[in-house]
């Protein structure tokens, strides 16, 4: 290609146009390859970040479920000890309605 441009006067218009088209095709192929590599790398990064976000959200959900389960366990223990519903609600931060449902499910009568 360098030789072509240094001796441009020696070539016809059609020869020059063919050389330019060939160079554009080669450049297009190179750009296509670069594009594909960038696209693949972007996908890899996206998947990795997506997994990290998913794991973090999963951990947060797991912690919340664990905290809720612990509150229910404490509430049930309090019910079995005979504490009143309002006191249990204050201790566990559970709604009174939820404690009443738990008490009924446990079959505890006043």
- Over residues 43-68, the pLDDT tens digits come to 888 899 999 999 999 999 999 999 99
pTM passes above 0.85 = no
Give yes or no for residue 16 having a pLDDT over 70.
Answer: no
Give yes or no for residue 91 having a pLDDT over 90.
Answer: yes
Any residues with CB less than 8 A from the CB of 74 and at least 6 apart, and which? 91, 92
CB 102 within 8 A of CB 79: yes
């Amino acid at each position: 290609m360098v030789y072509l441009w240094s001796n441009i006067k020696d070539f016809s218009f059609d020869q020059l146009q063919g050389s330019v088209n060939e160079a554009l095709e080669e450049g297009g192929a190179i750009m296509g390859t670069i594009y594909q590599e960038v696209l693949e790398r972007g996908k890899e990064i996206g998947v990795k970040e997506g997994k990290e976000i998913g794991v973090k959200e999963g951990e947060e959900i797991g912690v919340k479920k664990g905290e809720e389960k612990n509150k229910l366990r404490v509430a049930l223990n309090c019910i079995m000890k005979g504490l009143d519903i309002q006191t249990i609600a204050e201790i566990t931060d559970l709604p009174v309605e939820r404690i009443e449902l738990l008490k009924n499910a446990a079959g505890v009568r006043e």
